Structure 1
Amino acid sequence: MRCPFCAHDETQVKDSRPAEDNASIRRRRQCGKCGARFTTFERVQLREVMIVKSGVNGEPGRREAFDRGKLEQSVSLACRKRGVSQEQIDQLVSGIQRQVETAGEAEVPSSRLGELVMDGLRQVDSVAYIRFASVYRDFSEARDFEEFASTVQEAARSEDGD
């Protein structure tokens, strides 16, 4: 592992412990050259999955490797100032990552990934769900928000009535 401070190639693991409900390993490392300490996380990757972005006129777009960091960043942004804990975000992102990796497909459309995020956020926080949907579904007017929010409210009422 390369040192993020001096780029030296030799670092030593000082401490390892499980993190995120045993979904990853947290490692404390020290650089052999500059002595700096830093933390890394190691996760199981079941397979390399490519995300197929939306293209123009229904054509498939560019492909890029699934990036857990990008997924976590977009979920965190939707949940900002909503009282959703980092642990809840980590669990949601880990669950989505597991679904993507175990689906058995080498390529997953970005629309499928967006739907998985929306399904997860719907269970966690309705405002975060609407925030994510506004970007994902490209709301352009206040009316788009109103219509979507009313469907969320109707769904919540029907769940409470069951």
Structure 2
Amino acid sequence: MRCPYCGHLETTVVETRESDEGDAVRRRRRCGQCEKRFTTYERAELAMPAVVKKNGDRTEFSRAKLRASMALALRKRNVSVDLVDAAIASIEEKLLSSGSSEVGTARVGELVMRELKRLDKVAYVRFASVYREFEDIEAFSKLIKEI
């Protein structure tokens, strides 16, 4: 494993344990040159369904895009990274367990909204207002009353 700080190729594993969810192995490593420590995660690579956009284009599922959209909604909200990671893992698990080779962006959006609603109501409203493309204050008010 290459050190992310100095690029040295020799690192040693200091500690290994299973993640709380049991779906990954967490390893603390130390660089042999700069002595800095960092964490790596090993996960089984499963074939996520392709995402079908509104215009019919197909793209690979991207955990990074999912994280970025959730981070935008959660900006300046007091929600821990661990809770966000668990929410992302839950979304991925639901997509994988569906058994589908393709999933629409609407389904992904609904899963994200469900997780955000559980994590933080303000983030949920932020995401939903963009995702559902509200065009008037009535639709926005209706969403807030639902909460």
1:129-161 deviation per Cα after TM superposition (whole angstroms, max 9, x unaligned): 11112332344x5x3xx23332223323xxxxx
Matched residue, 2:30: 30
Contact 2:16 / 2:28 at 8 angstroms: preserved in 1?
Answer: yes
**What is the TM-score with the length of structure 2 in the denominator?**
0.79
Runs of 5+ in structure 2 lacking a partner?
none
Matched residue, 1:153: 144
1:3-51 deviation per Cα after TM superposition (whole angstroms, max 9, x unaligned): 3234444433221123344343321123445544321122334333322
1:74-99 deviation per Cα after TM superposition (whole angstroms, max 9, x unaligned): 21221222333333222211110100
CA distance in 2, matches of 1:39, 1:91: 17
**What is the TM-score with the length of structure 1 in the denominator?**
0.73
Runs of 5+ in structure 1 lacking a partner?
157-162
1:87 aligns with 2:82: yes
Matched residue, 1:17: 17
Matched residue, 1:50: 50
Kindly report the root-mean-square deviation, in angstroms, between the aligned alpha carbons of the 2 structures. Answer: 2.5
Q: Rate the CA distance shift 1:115–1:40 in 2: closer, same or farther, 3 A.
A: same
Percent sequence identity is: 46
Contact 1:52 / 1:63 at 8 angstroms: preserved in 2?
Answer: yes
CA distance in 2, matches of 1:86, 1:20: 14
CA distance in 2, matches of 1:44, 1:148: 41
CA distance in 1, matches of 2:106, 2:41: 28
Counterpart of 2:57 in 1: which secondary structure? Answer: strand
Contact 2:129 / 2:140 at 8 angstroms: preserved in 1?
Answer: no
Amino acid at match of 2:13: V
